[in-house]
Structure 1
């Protein structure tokens, strides 16, 4: 007998089909019979330059034949050093120390531990983490704790630690959100350790968008009160919002930055948490008890680091920003095309991400419309995975005009089919 595969975020009891993919290239996935499927969500938000980019594939092949894996505790290797040196060109000077891990969720865990370790090693009792309503930061315990409480984590609530929550800055409620943050930061009896946010757009929380101006003010409030500012750019990083990192649009620099997904071009798992010198120095000591107690077996895997190094080369040598700008323009044209359509709401765009709600429903991730939409797009050979009734498009930057037209046409067809108007 063989083991049954248990797929993530999949209710196997519904008996929904699970198509098998044999290969991929560019913005397309292919089944064994040659059926071509447009990857409209970058295979869960990771692919940036397209599948099987030759430069990244070559880097993986070459590195795997040279040095495949080694312990990173007390040892080092060239691909990690070269990646750290290369990443410095993409980051503000204030972010000076990088810690590697292996997924977005663990990058967040590392950030939280860095923040708490910073205050602990300074001898200051700061333990509360501030979060934003509707946020999502991953599925490990710490990451779930700083995410919105609800269907994603209600079964595991005994494991989660308490946080302080500020409201999502919807249009018209921005000042209320800022006032909530200010109140938390002014708490002299229990000052917060850090605020963690998804800059500009909340992913799994429903592709909710807020402005760079609000992000800038939140960062300023944190800085005024000595609260660490953590930017979770696992999804938003590497061009998704139109700039390499979303925080750039607010003219701010976080104290701690989390990145993953697009770090390797979306080809192989690798994550990084980058911190200021002050956070590093709080752990720098001749006292071994003050070291940063975190690792995984595959920290800074040489093959993954080589892939990430190739990704940086693509950003330097290819017209990636032009591709991003073109995609932004096509999304904008599609948004204009939907003007006046009934049965939809919330048509919005943040860089290369486009989203809307069908049928004006408000029943969230478990909306019964979600599986119907998923099947609808799957039948049209398009990989779109709606968040409930929220349909979003987040393709690789290399996607062509005809594929985009097919995606947009399918969305309009879905609106006609499912929206009640």
Structure 2
């Protein structure tokens, strides 16, 4: 049978009419919808490189990579072509009982570029789901090897790992977690190594080492019941972009080995070059037992995630069917061919040019452009790991006293930047820059200049 249906694109819609239709039906994520009575959503028609263009033709520089996902710019020709080629072959096939070239090749390439012996890839749809896979796999591993008492997880205060219930349980950002507390697993938290709280004159490394002691004590006390520890290497992104020294990862890897607890690295936001190395764990020269990847995995194109682990963990599930040790977890779009083709094209771009070297130069430009803000009377800290830079506004600089969250000072910076043609979405009182890697030095200086203007406006009493 021939399919004679011809797709006809919808007729162009006036911007105001599109917003009216949106607000009548769409419930936006991470949004108090009543805010849109004052500040309607921006209707985006197209993207090109670092730019987003709305339906009225105004352009905005995407300084936060559209929630940290975009690496090589919007409408990247190489990624576009790879997806189009894949679309001509197969758009999707279930990964249970089937395979396809894109998922096999992607798995081989990920195993080759990730740290150490991470040789097995389990696919899901998004970052939260990758974390769920890691938690379930860790728990199930201990059950399969005869240690069923190891059922709990530990994480860091101020950490964030996603919105699904398992991922939320090991998170510690009250804004997202508090409401759902009765639904969540009972987990353990160690103090964050976040260096914002260090003493005057204390180095990042010294403070981070000192902050590891509570985690060591937690592991010593609870090792008998702990399946794993999960953390975001180097940057607690949703936790106001707080940062710490790589030595924490080194110390935690040693302690997890000593106490027989899995180490789960959530590199969903910090992987693929964001912190200056391909993966943040490389800066401590460690290999986790599980690594969760998403966001930049497809260059910001399609939802895809992967949880990597090692052969030892894989073998604990490899058995005769009747012994019921298999990992019976699935998502309909596991290993989707279109997503895998986008991921392969993204890895191509890392191989075709010195992306990490170029990023280090851009990071130096970011640091130099932001440096004057360190002396601002209402900036408590300017901090940076690679292509992630954060500026924290405070009421009292000496005491590092924050502004009350109810004052929404970051929103003032956001609105000022949007008026200037820059899209920044602050985290409370923290203004940050996490741009696509195709941004130029001149654009970085412009963005940080506009950020400085916005901070002046936001901190004016």
Question: TM-score with structure 1 length normalisation?
Answer: 0.96
CA distance in 2, matches of 1:189, 1:343: 43
Deviations, residues 35-71 of structure 1 (Å, cap 9, x unaligned): 1100000010001111111111001111011101111
1:98 aligns with 2:121: yes
CA distance in 2, matches of 1:329, 1:284: 47
The alpha carbon displacement at 1:190 in A equals 3.6
> What residue number does 1:340 align with?
375
- Superposition map of 1:204-223 within 5 A: 204-223=238-257
Instruction: State whether structure 2 residue 192 is matched by structure 1 residue 155.
Output: no
User: Which of 327-336 and 78-87 deviates more?
Assistant: 327-336
Match of 2:212 in 1: 178
Is 1:144 the counterpart of 2:148? The answer is: no
Tell me the secondary structure at the aligned position of residue 108 of structure 1: helix
Provide the residue aligned with 1:13 in structure 2. 34
More divergent stretch after superposition (379-388 vs 351-360): 351-360
Structure 1 residue 269, shift from structure 2 partner:
1.0
* 2:226 aligned counterpart, secondary structure: coil
Alignment check: 8 A CA contact 2:53 2:59 kept: yes
After superposition, residues 207-356 of structure 1 pair within 5 angstroms as 207-288=241-322, 289-356=324-391
User: Aligned-pair distance for 1:273?
Assistant: 0.2
Equivalent residue, structure 2, for 1:78? 101
Distance 2:175 2:295 in 1: 24
Higher relative contact order (CA 8 A, sep 6+): 1
Q: Distance in 1 between matches of 2:66 and 2:108?
A: 28
Measure, in 2, the Cα distance between the counterparts of 1:202 and 1:366.
Answer: 22
Secondary structure, counterpart of 1:126 in structure 2: coil
After superposition, residues 120-139 of structure 1 pair within 5 angstroms as: 120-124=143-147, 125-139=149-163
Within 5 A, what are the aligned runs for 1:45-60?
A: 45-60=68-83
How far 1:363 sits from its partner (Å)?
Answer: 5.3
Q: Is the 8 Å Cα contact of residues 359 and 420 (structure 1) preserved in structure 2?
A: no
Q: Counterpart of 2:67?
A: 44
**Cα separation, 2, equivalents of 1:140 and 1:366:** 26
Write out per-residue CA displacement over residues 378-418 of structure 1, whole angstroms, 9 at most, x where no aligned residue.
11211100001100000001102332122111111112212
Deviations 1:150-189 (A, max 9, x none): 1212221111011111001133654553222222222368
Q: Structure 2 vs 1, CA of residues 174 and 364 (structure 1 numbering), >3 Å: closer, same or farther?
A: farther
Aligned mates of 2:405, 2:227 — CA distance in 1 = 31
Alpha-carbon distance, 1:321 to partner: 1.6
Deviations 1:239-279 (A, max 9, x none): 00000000000010100000001111111111000001111
Q: After superposition, what is the alpha-carbon deviation per residue over 1:80-125, rounded to whole angstroms, capped at 9, x for unaligned?
A: 0011112222113411100011101101000101110110111101
Aligned partners of 1:300 and 1:367: how far apart in 2?
A: 43
- The CA RMSD over aligned residues, in Å, is 1.8
2:378–2:459 CA contact under 8 A, matched in 1: yes
- In structure 2, C-alpha distance between the alignment counterparts of 1:4 and 1:122, rounded to whole Å: 49
Cα deviation, residue 365, structure 1: 6.1
Query: 1:204-250, CA deviations, whole angstroms, 9 ceiling, x for partnerless residues?
Result: 00111100112211111111111100000000000000000000000
TM-score normalised by L of structure 2:
0.88
Aligned length: 421
Q: Name stretches of at least 5 consecutive residues in structure 1 with no aligned partner.
A: none
Gaps of 5+ in 2: 1-19, 200-206, 396-400
- Name the stretch that deviates more: 401-410 or 354-363: 354-363
